[in-house]
Structure 1
Amino acid sequence: MPAADVLIAGAGPTGLVLALWLTHFGIRVRIVDKAAEPGTTSRALAVQARTLELYRQMGLAQAVVDRGAKVAGANFWVKGRHRARVSLQGIGEGISEFAFLLIYPQDEHEKLLIARLADLGVHVERNTELIRFTELLRFTEPGKEVNAVLKRDGNTEEGCYCRYIVGCDGARSKVREIIGTGFPGGTYEHFFYVADVEAAGPAINRELNIDLDHADFVVVFPLHDEGHIRLIGTVKERPDCTPADLTFNDVGRRAIEQLKVDVRKVSWFSTYHVHHRVTDHFRKGRAFLAGDAAHIHSPAGGQGMNTGIGDAINLAWKLAAVLQGKADDALLDTYEAERIGFARQLVATTDRVFTAVTSTNRWAKFVRTRLFPLIMPVAVRFAFVRRFLFRTVSQTQIQYRESPLSEGRAGVVLGGDRLPWIRFADGTSNYDTLAEPRWQVHVYGDVDSPLEMACRELGVVFHRFAWQREMSDAGLTEGAMYLLRPDQYVALVEKQGVKELRNYFESRQLRP
């Protein structure tokens, strides 16, 4: 009966990232998926800046950027006329090293993650489905473990003991079904399609192109190869057939024709409903939910896959700390506390955006087709608008201020915030030190020597940066102590003090 510290059900981006980070921390994992092969008909496209910042920890960021397509602008069309263009060039300048919108299809993304995981000696177990699991008392030492039953190749059952199980198994999650945490929400009435095609025309310009017509809806996404695009739009009503019977010939063609998209070849085509749901709990006992198993919403803003990856990294370092005896099991309760609030907020936000984009209401149509093309190009000329848009979409605004792991304040930065990013004159940045997922302390300005010694004793990496004006502009406070978690969030921000640093770990029963 093969054992693992963590059994991961589902080998999409969320499960693969969780497996990759846990393996890096030295945790034994098994990752299973009932599909015979990796997905080839994925819908997720955008890789946000926050994901790329975290991907630097595994040396993945540059590989994703090199394989992806940077998008310089977004174009808006109404009734076949190009009404507006919004420049996205450097929209996140000064906020992140990855100050751009990047398109990298999920199927290619998964291949990269699978390859990196294989380099570490971990392989996805295909044709392997989770059937059931139970918690049981361990006989070798006090505590509990999970006894899972897997089915291979559709018939052979196999047992697997593990310390924890994580459901990354999508909207129809077996793990969620077993633990009974529910999946409240709903389904939009609209039916959508996604297609990868080779095409030509004015909208095949390596930028986003969006048709805002009330009678039809389509978005053109550029892919890496010249002339290759992804189309997402509405499907025409066909009451005489099932979704599985639909083909590209059944999609709404008016918007495609108005954008003057000349489709030469359809590589693949799929239809889907869009849901908006969040489970009631991300944890129950030794079972956890992450990604689409925990929350699912409209594709507005390209948030879904990135949110799942954020779940995985948040959970990974905490599982590793508990399994390695560096933290009490209570640390794992902070996973739900930190991630469920953002998931609920995201579902509500994307629901409003999605409804506005697809509504046939007269006022919504007027705003979408008349006001928006006029106002948006003007609004994005203002720096504060561009910063707001980038922070919202890029997920760099995610914070955990209400978390039990967050403490202190210095200036505008509070415990739980993402550390402000700063580019130095020599081309380096303060994020260069975050490449390794470890606890560390940053001090910007002069430092007290007892603090540096205390960091060495505790096993916390210490970095001091000479004070520069740009640090103040970014929101940092001269001489303050910033304790950073392994996932790059500020755990404690305080005046330099050995007592405060020690108390942070002792009060939470944590060891770096």
Structure 2
Amino acid sequence: MDASVLIVGAGPTGLVLALWLTKQGVPVRIIDQTAGPGATSRALAVQARTLELYRQLDLADAVVAKGYAVPGVRLWLGGREAARIPFAAIASDLTPYGFLHIFPQDEHERLLIERLAALRVAVERSTELLGYAEDGGRVSARLRGPDGAERTAEAAFIAGCDGAHSAVRAGSAVGYPGAAYPQTFYVADVAGAGPAFNGDLNIELDQSDFLAVFPLADGGRVRLIGAIRQDDGRDLDKLSFDDISDRAKRLLRLEVETVNWFSTYRISHRVADHFRRGRTFLLGDAAHIHTPVGGQGMNTGIGDAINLAWKLAAVLAGRAPDALLDSFEAERRAFALRLVQTTDRFFNVAAAEGRLAEIVRTRIAPIALPLAAKLEPARDYLFRTISQITLNYRGEGLAEGRAGAVHGGDRMPWVKAGAGDNHQALAAIGWSAHVYGAADDGLRQWSEARRVPLAVFPWEKPMGHAGLRENALYLIRPDTYVALAETAQSVDAVERFFARTQIRP
């Protein structure tokens, strides 16, 4: 075979999948139809959960250094700022990344490509997937290279990370039900000045068309994102920035000096019927797509990649049965369905028409949102949802038990521990165990014999506030989700878990 995994598509999802697999010793090929990485981007936000996972490949610090941590969100009404919600007051005890981080997708891709190149893996550019078929225990794919010649590539598995019009999804005959939003979206990269160039995310509430200004790292440049309705009589495919900029300039008091680039696009809300079919996997926009409101799309694709990577590595190494790969669809498709429903509801409220919707946006929201931000439960819920740290796999086959407020399937809560934090012990990609308090000798001996690292943290009150239980045992998956939570340090319970799943850590 040419590689163990053929990855089609070199956006963030495909690049992250290639990085995580390569780091685990899995040979990959990654191809893309384009001649090079994009020079513009719609995706901007890197959520806290993504940054937490990026610590596994020493990526988080680089992304934070190259991007911009947004300190808060400002709501605008009638051409004036109506309210400000600071992020620092929301998430300082939930994650080391308690902010909205802006790092445009084109810059993000270049960083991932550099890291992949350092591992001696290059993206094969101007290479198109023409078709593929499963042939016994492998996939045989027909590729057209930059010279126009057709070649065959063989791999154990194929991963479709090739976007909403996925050739891999088409080749697997997987349905992609859903519908298009009635709005056309636009994005403009502009330089200028004005009160909305304040370093915060600025959202305008007056009109039923979504309108937001996202700050960028250099301070004098922002990304303007909005939605345009279909019923205004214009040819939306031929719009220019001048056609849509009046409202943004008036309601957000923008003084635009330079338009670096401008584009329009349509978006749908869809979830594929299957994320796995035989030796084929669908990830990112090839598997799910939804409104850009909330900055979830790119992060969800990256989450898909990390979820799948450790499972593929385990199966290819003979440390787990093929059935482990079924959990990719079970876990990630369930999340995608919830996400599409959530973003749909939010966008429909934000873009709804009518007198009632106008009252909610212009009179209730500017008062209710800042008040909600002062309430800890409301702040936590808002940040946990958007940042994806609330994502869990409870009730699935790789989740058992409960200790404190932490269930099997939950993200391991983040807490400060000594001079650092407990997530520092999760930097390596592999199984591990945590105890907050004291570990007994039997558990220590098991950890050494099984070569499963055991991290023991002296008990502190903040650990209880985070939902952890003193002296409980938490068995943690390679993607830093809790597989097993046990109030007693039961080695037998851990062994039963591995026997049931047939995983050898």
TM range (shorter): over 0.9
Percentage of matched positions with identical amino acids: 53
**Structure 1 residue 5 corresponds to structure 2 residue 4:** yes
Q: 1:281 aligns with which of 274, 288, 291?
A: 274
Q: Report the more deviating stretch, 52-61 or 469-478.
A: 469-478
Residue 253 (structure 1) aligns with: 246
1:200-233 deviations in Å (ceiling 9; x for gaps):
0010011111111226542100000121100001
Deviation at 1:235, TM superposition (A): 4.0
What are the equivalent positions in structure 2 for 1:164-203 lying under 5 Å apart? 164-203=157-196
Tell me by how many angstroms 1:83 deviates. Answer: 1.5
> What TM-score, normalized by structure 2, do the two folds share?
0.97
Identify the residue that residue 404 of structure 1 maps to in structure 2: 397
State the AA in 2 paired with 1:446: A
Task: Determine the C-alpha separation between the residues in 1 that align with 2:260 and 2:102.
Answer: 18
Q: Shift of the alpha carbon at 1:241?
A: 4.0
Q: 1:155 aligns with which of 127, 148, 166?
A: 148
1:79 Cα deviation after fit: 2.3
TM-score, reference length from structure 1: 0.96
Secondary structure in structure 1 of the residue aligned to 2:101? strand
Question: Counterparts of 1:111-510 in structure 2 under 5 Å?
Answer: 111-137=110-136, 144-153=137-146, 155-214=148-207, 216-235=209-228, 241=235, 243=237, 245-424=238-417, 426-494=418-486, 495-510=488-503
Greater Cα shift, 204-213 or 315-324: 204-213
8 Å Cα contact 2:87/2:98 also seen in 1: no
Supply the distance in 1 between the matched residues of 2:111 and 2:455 (Cα, whole angstroms): 32
Partners of 1:235 and 1:252 within 8 A in 2: no
Task: Check whether the contact 2:186–2:226 (CA below 8 A) recurs between aligned residues.
Answer: yes
Per-residue deviation, 1:152: 1.2
Distance 1:54 1:236 in 2: 37
Distance in structure 1 (CA, Å) of the matches to 2:245 and 2:209:
6
SS class of match (1:251):
helix
Q: Over aligned residue pairs, what C-alpha RMSD do you find?
A: 1.4
Amino acid at match of 2:58: G
Q: Which amino acid aligns with 2:344?
A: D
3-state DSSP of counterpart to 2:90: coil
Q: Distance in 1 between matches of 2:228 and 2:148?
A: 37
Change (3 A) 1:307 1:217: closer
Which shows bigger deviation, 447-456 or 332-341? 447-456
State the SS of the aligned residue for 2:223: strand
Structure 1 residue runs of 5 or longer lacking an equivalent are 138-143
The aligned length equals: 503
CA positional deviation for 1:292 = 0.5
* Letter aligned with residue 195 of structure 2: P
Gaps of 5+ in 2: none
Moved more, 77-86 or 371-380: 77-86
Matched, 1:82 2:74: no
Q: Is the 8 A contact 1:57 1:436 kept in 2?
A: yes
Q: Tell me the distance in 2 between the aligned counterparts of 1:48 and 1:81.
A: 28
Q: CA deviation at 1:240?
A: 6.2
Within 2, Cα distance between the matches of 1:216 and 1:297?
17
Question: What is the distance in 1 between the residues matched to 2:224 and 2:354?
Answer: 24
SS state at 1:464 partner:
strand
- C-alpha spacing 1:162/1:216, structure 2 compared with 1 (3 Å): closer
Task: Report the secondary structure of 2:212's partner residue.
Answer: strand
